[in-house]
Structure formats: structure tokens, C-alpha cells
A and B are shown apart, each in its own frame.
Chain A
């Protein structure tokens, strides 16, 4: 723990440089920077089964249904990162079918929450679905970013989590509000 690798130091510095300008920015811009970071952090607190990937060396796909609200911020956050040895890539998709082979799918406010059910891998419970709309969890979504008093809270659907093959860390659950 004392001997941090040079890589860690570099990453920490990068985060610092990225985070600092955000502090003074307007809420929407800062909001999606934070959300991008949160999306990246999900890879640290959630475990996917090996079957969730098409092959042993397939990359970890973080998919965003268009329209992409991050404006490149998400790509900056995950640039060069790996998840459990796999390359982490960000992919913007138009339709549910395009999201095939994605481990995380983010559904922006503009898209209908009902689309969740059509996502590939949902039946197997291999996909972590993250959304913003108020009915997202009711429609079968797993995690929702809830914006309250300028702060982003996580809402997790116990039901969706129960159907899923994913293992969510208790630490993550501790910072989230559990819904039905």
C-alpha cells in the first residue's frame, strides 16, 4: 500500500487535473462529468460472470445509447483503463440490438425506459443497466442516477438485481438507495 506504482501516481494526478476544473463549472457540465466517473467506478464495485463476454480476450464494453450526453468526458475518464485484464472501451449505440456484447449500458434521459427489456443479454442477466428517467427502475432498469439538491444519488432496483447474474459489492450498495 505504501509503495504505489508510478502508474497509480499518474492516474491520480490525471484525476486531480480533470476534477479541478469541474469544481467551478455549471451544474449540467459537472453533472455529466460526475456521471461519467460513476459509470467508470461501477467497473470497480460490480463483478460480471465470464459468460457475459463473447470471448476470453473480448474488451469490456461501456455502451451509451445516443444521444451521448457526456460530450467526450466519458472517453477521457476511461482512456487507457482496463477492467479485470480486459480493455475498456466506450461505444455509442443507436438501437438495443447495437448494444450486443455490452457489459454496461447507459440510457440517457431522452430514450424510452421501455427499451431496457429489449437489450441483448438482459434475459441472461449479464448487463448492468444505468439510466436517468424517473420510470427507469419501474421499466426493469437496475441503477438510476437520481439528481437531488444538486447531488447525484444512486438508486438500485432490488428486483432487477435479483434477476441479474451480476455481483454488486456491498460497499456500492451501502452508498445506494435500495428500491423495490
Chain B
């Protein structure tokens, strides 16, 4: 298509130029011919009129219209003369010769000028040329000869010339056409080659080249095109090479990453397996502890009972050391039972699923303090809730146990004149002791006392089971499992627990619990809403 277009354009330009030049030349030629023909015709008409005037002088002088008519008839030989007439001096018609049509009829009277007969004159208008001259006899005008030419005769002659010109034009156009077909090759062929090469190049073949055949602008264009292609080819090669290298690197990296990923997955799987194993063994341990302590409890109860029976039934037969020994046995079995109960409780915390619900800590603590009031009053201790407590997602009984143990511990290990325990929640993100919990983890709860404090070297073992820092009966005694259970409860809820303490100043326990963390007001509002719903 594009090939046809450039060829067609060239052809159109050549043909248009040729045709317009020929047409213009033809028009000028015809115009000039028309003017020349008209001038000649008028001159001819004038000569004819003079001849006719000479030939008809005797006719007028001797009143012989017939001979005048005969002279006029000879005008038939002149095709362009449409009409010829002879008039008397007074303007009346003397003799006439008529051609065809309106143009071929002479005027009734001779041309007038200023009220009298005009002897001589010429008029070219309306497609006719008219000429009139006087007829002279001796020195005297005796009449007027009037001749009229039909200019259409000229047009007839010109029509023939126009046809000839049109023929010449056609021949010239044909010649121009053939010539332009040859000339096209000079311009169109290199352009087409260039266009074809460009098409190939655009399809990605940069090895194609054009071969300039001359020194003109098109050849220059071809040279530049070749240079450009060479550059593109060079860059394409470089790009391809770079791309290859990059692909290689990406492949290597991908392989390494895949290897890494496999490694990590293997590690994760291993970890998971270990976790599962650990969980299972923990569970087994809990189960074992439960079963063992449960089974141990029964014979222990038997031993205790039989010791009691011995003391009651054989009181008379036993001496004082014997009784004392039996009483010690009973005390030891009692203590053994207490230890086993603690162990059972601890294992239950690890074994039994949590009964999770929304728990209003404010309410929990308030009820807890109610139940603890008699003991606290006896110890002269004061427990204060220093900030509003939110609602958390937890097992109510277990959370109650956490606060109970921490409050009781704070009062128990306390030698201050006014034992004081403060309970509260720190806003999320605020520093809590030595630690700053991660943001978004929720509030950090604390239970602070002004008790005896824990030396730093003991802080690492404070949560170990049955670990007591003091004598068995100091500070009211105890099994030494309270903080261990607290830690287990917090961790089973997904929280953490830690402490800050200085001997003689007091201890602060910090811990976290899972949300939703309403504020007190919100919780009251929510509680009211629930009550409304209940009503």
C-alpha cells in the first residue's frame, strides 16, 4: 500500500504539473488565436467593404440595384460574412445579401449618427463585427456599404484548434505519464527500499541495510539509517548480554532463596515438632504429677489416719516420747498432703482448659477485697485500687487467683507498720519497671507492696515451684507454689509476668493479659447495657 502511495503521489505531482502547464498554455494559445483571428477578420471585413463599395459605385450612380445585388452575392465566398447591404445616402436600403438567422439580416436603414447617415464606422459587439464604408463616385459619396461578420465562425475555427490542442494535451500527458514512470524509479525505488528496511527493522531485524545508489538526500538518509541501525544493533546486543547476566544472577539468587526457604521450613518444622514434643511431654508431666499425687494421697491419708488411731487407741500404752513421735508423724503427713494438694492444683492449671470470657477486672478485684477484708483488717493492711481496671479476655477464677496470691503475698511478706498494697493498670506503651512492653500489647497491670522486698540474686528463682526464701514457718509458712501458679496462669493466657524489687522497699509485680481492654467507665457502661438487656 505504502509503495503504491509514494508512486501514486509522484505520478500525481508530475501529471498535475504537466496537465496544468499544458492547459494554461492551451488557454493562452487559444486566447491569442482568438484575438488574432478577430483582428484578421475585422481587417478582412474592412477590405471586403472597400471592394464592394468600389464595385457598387456605378450601380448606385445609375440606379441599378440588380448589379449591386450581384456584387453582394459574391460575398458568399467569404464564410464569415453573414450579411451585406448597400444603402442610399438617405439611409434607404438599395441592395442586400442575407445569410442565415437573425445575424444574417441587414438593418432596414443605414447606421445613423447624430440624426444623419453615418458614412463610415465599425462596431464589434454581441458576437458580430460590423463595418460600413461610403460608396464614392468621382469625388462624391453616393451610398454606403454595410457588412456584418459572424464571430461564431471564428469560434468554429477555434473549436477545431481546441480539439487539436486537447489531442496534443492528451499525447503530452501520456508522454509525461511514461516519463514519470521511469523517473519514479529514481526517487521511489530508494525510498521503497528504505521503507522495507525500516519495516524489517521495526520487526526486530537490525542486521538489514540499504545500499544507496546515488549521492542525493535519499542516499544520505539511507546512510544515516544504516548508521542508526548499526548503533541500535550494538545497543541491542549489549542489552541482550546485560539481560542474560541479570537473568543468571536472578536465577542464582532465586536458587539461593529457595534453598534458604527450604532450610527455614525444615527448621520451622523441626521447631514445631520439638514444640509439640515439649507440649506433649509437659502434658505428660502434668498428667504424671496429677496421677502420682492423686495416687500418693490415698496411702498418705491411710498413714495419717492410722497414726491418729494409734494416738487415740493406744494413748495409755505410749510414753511421752512415743506420743510426740506420733504427733510429728501426723504433722509431717499433714504437710505432705498439703504439698500434694498444691501439686495437684498446679498440674490442674496446666491441664484444664481455660473458661475464657470478658472479665471486668475492677469487679473481680472489688469482690476479692470483700472476701479478704477480715484477714486484711487483722493484719492492719490497706489495699488500694489506684487506677481504673479494664475488661479483659480471661478465665475469671484464674485471674481472681492471680490477684489473690499477689495481694496475700504483699501483705504476708511485710514488716511495715502500715502494710500497703496498690493495684492498678499502666497505659499501653508506658515503661513498667525495667521493661517497656511492645506497643499495642495492651495495659500492664501491677500489684505493688511496701514489703520486705526480694534481693536481686533471688529474683531469678522466685517463680520456681516449692522455692521458699525463708524458713518453713517464717511469714506464716506456705508451700512455696503461689508465684509458680501465678506465672503459669498468666502465661497460659498468653501474657507475661515480671517484677521490680529492692530489699526493704517493697516489690512490684507487672503482668499482661489479653484484651479487649475496656476502660472502667466503658466497662460500667457495658455492664449497665448488659443489665438492661437482662431486665
Contacts and interface: CB of A to CB of B under 8 A. Distances in A.
Interface string B56-74: 0111011110010000000
B62 A16 contact: no
Interface string A31-72: 000100110010111000000000000000000000000000
Interface of A: 1-2, 4, 7-8, 11-13, 15-16, 19-20, 34, 37-38, 41, 43-45, 83, 151-154, 169, 171-172, 174-176
Chain B contact residues: over half helix, strand or loop, or mixed? mixed
Contacts, number: 72
Nearest to A15: B89
Contact of B62 (A11, A12, A172): A172
Given A1-B134, A175-B67, A8 B140 contact: yes
Given A16-B90, A41-B137, A1 B50 contact: yes
A16 B89 contact: yes
**Lowest 7 A-B CB distances belong to which pairs?**
A44-B138, A171-B58, A41-B61, A175-B64, A44-B137, A175-B62, A175-B58
B62 A19 contact: no
B500 interface: no
B67 A19 contact: no
A152 B61 CA distance: 12
B62 A41 contact: yes
B107 interface: no
Nearest to B66: A175
14 contacts: A4-B119, A4-B134, A8-B140, A8-B141, A20-B90, A38-B61, A44-B140, A45-B61, A151-B63, A169-B58, A171-B55, A171-B57, A175-B58, A176-B62
Contacts of A172: 58, 62
B99 to A, nearest CB: 24
Contacts of A12: 89, 119, 140-141
Given A38-B61, A41-B61, 16 more contacts: A1-B50, A4-B119, A7-B139, A11-B139, A11-B140, A12-B119, A12-B141, A16-B89, A19-B88, A38-B63, A41-B58, A44-B137, A45-B58, A45-B61, A174-B59, A175-B58
B229 interface: no
Nearest to A13: B116
B83 interface: no
B61 A2 contact: no
B330 interface: no
Contacts of B88: 19
A2 B120 contact: yes
Interface in B128-152: 133-134, 137-142
Contacts of B133: 1
Nearest to A151: B63
Nearest to B141: A12
Contacts of B119: 4, 12
A13 B90 CA distance: 9
Contacts of B140: 8, 11-12, 15, 44
B243 to A, nearest CB: 102
Nearest to A174: B67
Given A12-B89, A20-B90, A1 B120 contact: yes
A153 to B, nearest CB: 8
Nearest to B62: A175
Nearest to A8: B141
Nearest to A2: B120
B118 to A, nearest CB: 11
A153 B67 CA distance: 12
A2 B113 CA distance: 14
B133 to A, nearest CB: 6
A20 B92 CA distance: 11
A12 B143 CA distance: 9
B134 A154 contact: no
Given A4-B141, A41-B137, A154 B61 contact: no
Nearest to B54: A171
Contacts of B89: 12, 15-16, 19
Contacts of A37: 61
Contacts of A34: 63
